[in-house]
Amino acid sequence: MNEWDRKRERMVREQLVARGIRDQRVISAFGRVERHRFVTDTELPYSYDDRPLPIGFGQTISQPYIVALMTELLELRGREKILEVGCGSGYQTAILAELGGEVYAIERIGELLISSERVLEELGYNRVHTRVGDGSIGWKEAAPFDRILIAAATPSVPKSLIEQLAEGGRLVAPVGSKYEQMLCLVEKGASGTVKITKHGGCVFVPLIGSEGWKAAP
């Protein structure tokens, strides 16, 4: 076991399991995915720290516990078609690829997507589809999705994404202001009914898009 493996093992034990993450598939995935591959050279020494890290362009790689909590709430079993809004570094994308079926990841910043695509390809994630675009309106051509994860703060759950969620599907998103949000789970019933439950406070960068926050002029 090398130093990165030891740090990752400690992260899983102290930051995830100790805080109540119980899904063994999620725990195992976090033990496999090398978070240090998704950070910048400047932040490399802090790869497994208990906090988000800057990845450039005003974006971050999220705190490991929050990534794990959002993933656990999705209840992935291995065959789901997943939409990820806000690919960023690609770390959450890799976790989803470990646990689901096909992953469709949207990122609005092209330079970030190029970087994340390179790492994901190097690590052998070949069931990930990516594109640059406005994630707040989803990926209509590929819908419906069994699971949707929004990795950016939204003032409300975008209507387009609820429409693209399959019946029986689950969507997780940080909902609130630009400065603090509540992690929400949206469950879509067989008749299209929507149930929303809240799972604690969080802070994400804003979701910029036509159904999110408007970009600064």
Q: What is the pTM of this model?
A: 0.96
Set 62, 115, 116, 160: catalytic member: 62
158 CB neighbour count, 10 Å cutoff: 25
Q: Report yes or no: 65 and 37 within 8 Å, Cβ to Cβ.
A: no
Sheet-wide strand order for 128-132? 128-132, 102-107, 81-85, 145-150, 165-176, 181-188, 194-202
Q: Report yes or no: 183 and 69 within 8 Å, Cβ to Cβ.
A: yes
* Closest C-alpha among 52, 67, 50, 63 to residue 10: 50
The series of mean pLDDT values per 10 residues for the chain, 217 residues long, is 95 98 98 98 97 95 98 97 98 97 97 97 96 97 98 97 97 96 96 94 96 82
Is 160 among the residues known to form the active site? no
Q: What is the pLDDT of residue 16?
A: 98
Q: What is the pLDDT of residue 215?
A: 77
Residue 99 CA to residue 80 CA, distance in Å, equals: 9
Tell me which of 3.40.50.2300, 3.40.50.20, 3.40.50.150, 3.50.50.60 is the CATH number of domain 52-202: 3.40.50.150
DSSP E strands, the chain: 53-56, 59-61, 81-85, 102-107, 128-132, 145-150, 165-176, 181-188, 194-202
